[in-house]
Amino acid sequence: MPRTLFVALAIAALSAGCDRESFAPRPASSLEPVDGLPTPERFALEHGAFDSYWYQGKAELTRYALHQARYGEIHDGEVVLIFVTEDFLPKLQVKHEAGDAADAISVLKLNAYRRFYTGIYPYTVMTSSFTPATGSPTLKLSNTVQEWCGQVYSQINRRDDGLHSLMHSYFQREADQKTVLPAATLEDGLWAQIRIAPDRIDQGKQEVVPALDYLRMRHKALRPYPANVTRRTGIDTDLVDHPLDAVEVDYPPLGRKLVIYYEPGFPHVIQAWEEVEGPFRTTAVRTNAIIDDYWHHNGVNDAPYRDALGLMY
């Protein structure tokens, strides 16, 4: 690691340890590049097209300050969205790692990692989505929800005959399930579609499978629900300091609404989102973002990179 980067990150670590407010939401426009680690905005200045931005052998890592509604209260936590392109085998629906694969396609993968505490014990939630870089419908989702009572695993694979879903749960009334659902929009796929081409997201009334973590934490059936999807421009929100575009997904049968706020210009950075269900509002606001080949930074001496991303846990 360059000495200048290490010193800068070490100073950031010391400052974070002294000042709890360093983890509080900051206006999105105030994000500054860390020495040697460009922000998405800075990276896009040199790589302003989709291919040059996403095919540099690096990932986009963004940390969000989370206020999660759970058990009738709001709990602090954080989310990290990891976007990266990779080759994908559409039949097996796994990453292409070796051998000839003429049918391999490029996908924009999102690993959405969420962590928050409820009292003494933590929730650790992760959803992976695999969306063709062409902007076609998301092909695969996988999700885990882990907490001290147990864990749940869900997966959806889009096939020619519909959405093949499975779930393994420690709850008696859920247990193990496997079924084929009708083809529908996947809420968890909208995030990558925003990054690829938000203007191609279908609007209007449609059947949508809600976020897998929402379904599991609310113990709802894994299936499509009637929803209204709307794209909006120039939206003001109390979460960010300037107008943004947004994708809104409203589920009347569930009494739930999701709004994802993003920059209108490429690379369509996601600045914040909110999820409203009854009187409770879950929010997430962008605080830190870097471009990095993080898989090469897995040693003890690479720990300062966590400080560059502002991670609490």
pLDDT the model gives residue 101: 84
- Distance (Å, rounded) from C-alpha 108 to C-alpha 102? 19
Burial pattern 58-85, b for ≥16 Cβ within 10 A else e, equals bbbbbbbbbbbbbeeeebebbbbbbbbb
Angle at 201 between CA 69 and CA 154, to 5 degrees: 50
Q: What is the mean pLDDT of residues 175-201?
A: 97
The pLDDT of residue 109 is above 50? yes
CA distances to 187, 190, 209, 247, 253 from 141, in Å:
10, 12, 11, 20, 23
Residue 28, pLDDT above cutoff 60: no
Instruction: Give the pLDDT band of residue 102 (cuts 50, 70, 90).
Output: confident
- pLDDT for 174: 87
Would you state the structure tokens that stand for residue 105, as one six-digit string? Answer: 């396609």
Across all residues in the chain, what is the average pLDDT?
A: 90
- pLDDT tier for residue 181 given thresholds of 50, 70 and 90: very high
Residue-level pLDDT at 186: 98
Nearest to 304 by CA among 62, 23, 77, 14: 14
Report yes or no: 310 and 79 within 8 Å, Cβ to Cβ.
no
Selection from 110, 119, 125, 148 nearest residue 78 by Cα: 125
pLDDT value at position 270? Answer: 98
End-to-end CA gap in the chain: 22
pLDDT of 194: 98
Q: In 3D, which of 74, 39, 114 has the Cα closest to residue 312?
A: 114
H/E run at residue 27: none
User: In whole angstroms, what is the distance from residue 50 CA to residue 54 CA?
Assistant: 6
Mean of the pLDDT values across residues 155-176? 94
Beta strands in 36-149 (DSSP E): 59-70, 73-89, 94-95, 105-118, 121-132, 140-147
Residues 306-313: what's their mean pLDDT? Answer: 90
Average confidence (pLDDT) over 2-30: 38
What's the whole-number mean pLDDT along residues 183-187?
Answer: 98
Is the pLDDT score of 214 beyond 80? yes
pLDDT level of residue 87 (50, 70, 90 thresholds): very high
Neighbours of 164 (CB within 10 A): 16
Category of 74 on φ-ψ map: left (φ > 0), alpha (ψ -120 to 50) or beta = beta
What six digits make up the tokens of 104? 């391999």
Are 216 and 145 a contacting pair, CB within 8 Å?
yes
pTM, rounded to two decimals: 0.89
217 three-state secondary structure: helix
In eight-state DSSP terms, residue 103 is T
Distance, C-alpha 306 to centroid of its chain: 18
pLDDT at residue 117 in the model: 97
pLDDT score for 34? 60
Q: Hey, what amino acid is at 226?
A: P
Number of alpha carbons in the 13 Å side-chain half-sphere of residue 116: 20
**Mean pLDDT, to the nearest integer, of 220-238?**
97
Closest-CA residue to 210 (of 181, 177, 238, 186): 186
